[in-house]
A and B are shown apart, each in its own frame.
Chain A
């Protein structure tokens, strides 16, 4: 593969070229093979520092980035901002000043407001990795989802994925569907009308029921976490009704089995809401693979991005 133009930040999926996407996948695969070895570490980022800056509580994503950075031999600082001291938008520039002074080479940031990683990126020389901003984007999630899908379907082009749940408030749905679309994977969506707004996205097929879904014949079903905390207002009558209408249970798992469809979920799972305990043990669940691939993808992204911290 020819040399890519160096890139400082990863903020969203839209701005990635297909060439860059392939480059990330090409690098993630050998990193993943590394996990089978007794020594899982490479010296790629020795002497470099990674700052994990999470304005929203997250264990999984921040740990995944931490493990990825550790396996590349970088020094990691975790900077969790407790909800009581959430930095207000007004002092964002002050925060950036502070970050700049810490001279980190990479800043991994999650923030409740869309666009914040972009603002940080503009004002620092460090590479900024968006680990989720508002409803906007979660690019490494999209990359790990696509990596996972491509592992089980090397002939992924033209295959179909249905995303189920709260499309409106989900950055995962936005980034993952955008990347699937870029890769030529068809995307369908299922969810209550109040959470799957019409006319916002050009490329997703709206499905209205599980019958619709199974008729459409997906190769994978991607369940979203029901994020009650991110919704302002009421969008469906109750959790139990949501589960009945849109949740994954043994009956629907049986249909999945007949179709040979895989099951995906970004985690953490709400058992009993979007998925039942029995459904969790479905043999074609890719949930653990997603977690593992998440580390490989984040290593590949850290390896690929070029901080400008050496510039004057």
Chain B
């Protein structure tokens, strides 16, 4: 038995924290939530004075890189990173090598996960074979294995007819279709948001319309087919507006935003630092403002980190050549606490809704909470402490993040799974 004493419990339906002790049995089930639970013999006691107990987060967009790119990250290091960041469940993007595009591959990935990970790591499957955008992947086999969603990740399906038929077919299995929102013909070799900063740095730009055109198309196809659509990594004000209109019209669409797009802008890209090279790129301040507003208004359903590890060496290339993506599992809770919760822009309740409950619901899971009878799946957050985001703190195999070297307020003392 473990007793977590003197902590405050955060919930998704209340901005108020509830002061209570928490007793967890050896099976990992919360058996009692009450103030002043007495210690009994054989109970390990953890003092949580001043700390907040928060339900485990769930990240819809994670690249664990295994199989195929184990030099960047493995399922094991990815799980360690998740736990380090208070995340107790994730969806694995299928852009591995081989890409996860059949029931057998889903099964073998599930087997690997069960061997190495104490947390839920749920495979997503490809929409098209090999993520090539040419022919259907094996939908029914993947559906039978309980795939979390279907997506070609950052490969766009260029042909609207194929996307349409994928959506129609996915609907029969009630599979969630997820797209990343990119128009390659507009993105070209761009590496940064197109605008004043791209001009100043002399880098080829990626225009906002590259994502907006794709979002609009995908929404239209979803409306037409009635399929469930999830849009990843919304990055522009116009994108938020398109989704607001779609929701108003009753479209079955959900969307996510990354902590990076909420917290950073293109202006933060100084000295060609590739730790700020993201797909989609960091946009302007007015976009970041619209994304935050969209999150508060409920137009944006979820936060997802798009955890995308690349080695230091890969990221040490020049800005245009370096790969897109940074890690996010270990910095999302801390960075959002630091900028928003600590400053009362929003409370723990909103973070739990957007980064724990909604992501689970989007893929058909029940939300979790810290209640009697539930599985113990939470983290202990100390707001009086602070975290230096350095190589010692980061458990990911590729410690590449825009927050590297920064000190963020608060610290995750422990994640219980």
Q: Do the two chains bind? A: yes
Chain A interfacial positions (CB closer than 8 Å to B)? 14, 88-90, 92-93, 111, 113-116, 118-119, 133-137, 168, 171, 174, 197, 199-201, 232-233
The residue on B at minimum CB distance from A200 is B199
Question: Which 8 A-B pairs rank lowest in CB-CB distance, beginning with the nearest?
Answer: A89-B321, A136-B202, A115-B272, A89-B317, A135-B202, A200-B199, A114-B202, A113-B318
The number of residues on chain B lying at the interface, defined by a beta carbon within 8 Å of a beta carbon of chain A, is 22
The residue on B at minimum CB distance from A89 is B321
The 18 sampled A-B contact pairs (Cβ below 8 Å) are A88-B317, A89-B320, A89-B322, A92-B316, A92-B318, A92-B321, A113-B318, A113-B319, A114-B201, A114-B319, A116-B318, A136-B202, A136-B203, A171-B202, A174-B200, A201-B196, A201-B199, A232-B189
The residue on A at minimum CB distance from B195 is A200
The residue on A at minimum CB distance from B185 is A233
Residues on the A chain within 8 Å of B115, using CB = none
Chain A interface SS verdict (over half): loop
Residues on the B chain within 8 Å of A135, using CB = 202-204
Complex Cα gap A211–B272 (Å): 40
Residues on the B chain within 8 Å of A116, using CB = 318
Complex Cα gap A116–B202 (Å): 12
Known contacts A93-B316, A232-B188, A232-B189; A115/B195 CB under 8 A? no
Q: Does B111 have its Cβ within 8 Å of any Cβ on chain A? A: no
Complex Cα gap A253–B188 (Å): 38
Complex Cα gap A133–B204 (Å): 12
Residue of A89, A119, A199, A233 with most chain B CB atoms under a 10 A cut-off: A89
Residues on the B chain within 8 Å of A93, using CB = 313, 316
Q: Does B314 have its Cβ within 8 Å of any Cβ on chain A? A: yes
Q: Does B26 have its Cβ within 8 Å of any Cβ on chain A? A: no
The residue on A at minimum CB distance from B316 is A93
Complex Cα gap A89–B310 (Å): 14
* 8 Å CB contact of B204 from A111, A199, A232: A232
Q: Does B271 have its Cβ within 8 Å of any Cβ on chain A? A: yes
The residue on A at minimum CB distance from B272 is A115
Q: A89-B322, A90-B314, A93-B316 are in contact. List 19 more A-B contacts (CB 8 A).
A: A14-B200, A88-B321, A90-B313, A90-B317, A113-B319, A114-B203, A115-B320, A116-B318, A119-B272, A119-B316, A119-B318, A135-B204, A136-B201, A136-B202, A200-B195, A200-B196, A232-B188, A232-B204, A233-B188
Q: Could you tell me if B320 and A114 are in contact, using CB atoms closer than 8 angstroms?
A: yes
Residues on the A chain within 8 Å of B196, using CB = 199-201
Complex Cα gap A205–B319 (Å): 30
Q: Could you tell me if A115 and B204 are in contact, using CB atoms closer than 8 angstroms?
A: no
The residue on B at minimum CB distance from A134 is B202
Chain B: minimal CB distance from A306 (Å): 21
The residue on B at minimum CB distance from A93 is B316
Residues on the B chain within 8 Å of A232, using CB = 188-189, 204
Residues on the B chain within 8 Å of A115, using CB = 201, 203, 272, 318-320
The residue on B at minimum CB distance from A171 is B202
Q: Could you tell me if B203 and A134 are in contact, using CB atoms closer than 8 angstroms?
A: yes
The residue on A at minimum CB distance from B318 is A113
Complex Cα gap A118–B320 (Å): 13
The residue on A at minimum CB distance from B271 is A118
Q: Could you tell me if A92 and B317 are in contact, using CB atoms closer than 8 angstroms?
A: yes
Complex Cα gap A273–B230 (Å): 49
The residue on B at minimum CB distance from A117 is B318
Q: Could you tell me if A137 and B202 are in contact, using CB atoms closer than 8 angstroms?
A: yes
Chain A: minimal CB distance from B213 (Å): 15
Complex Cα gap A210–B55 (Å): 66
Chain A: minimal CB distance from B222 (Å): 29
Query: Would you list which residues of chain B between 125 and 156 have a CB under 8 Å from chain A?
Result: none
* 8 Å CB contact of A90 from B188, B202, B319, B321: B321
Complex Cα gap A201–B202 (Å): 12
Residues on the A chain within 8 Å of B272, using CB = 114-115, 118-119
Complex Cα gap A199–B199 (Å): 10
Chain B 320-337 per-residue mask, 1 if CB under 8 angstroms from chain A, else 0: 111000000000000000
Known contacts A93-B316, A232-B204; A113/B321 CB under 8 A? yes
Q: Could you tell me if A199 and B313 are in contact, using CB atoms closer than 8 angstroms?
A: no
Chain B: minimal CB distance from A105 (Å): 24
Residues on the B chain within 8 Å of A168, using CB = 199
Q: Could you tell me if B195 and A199 are in contact, using CB atoms closer than 8 angstroms?
A: yes
* 8 Å CB contact of B199 from A89, A111, A174, A233: A174
Q: Could you tell me if B203 and A197 are in contact, using CB atoms closer than 8 angstroms?
A: no
Residues on the B chain within 8 Å of A174, using CB = 199-200, 202
Chain B: minimal CB distance from A202 (Å): 8
Query: Would you list which residues of chain B between 300 and 352 have a CB under 8 Å from chain A?
Result: 313-314, 316-322
* 8 Å CB contact of B318 from A14, A89, A200, A201: A89
Q: Could you tell me if B199 and A197 are in contact, using CB atoms closer than 8 angstroms?
A: yes
Chain A: minimal CB distance from B119 (Å): 33
Residues on the B chain within 8 Å of A197, using CB = 199
Chain A: minimal CB distance from B200 (Å): 8
Chain B: minimal CB distance from A99 (Å): 15
The residue on A at minimum CB distance from B314 is A90
Chain B 278-313 per-residue mask, 1 if CB under 8 angstroms from chain A, else 0: 000000000000000000000000000000000001
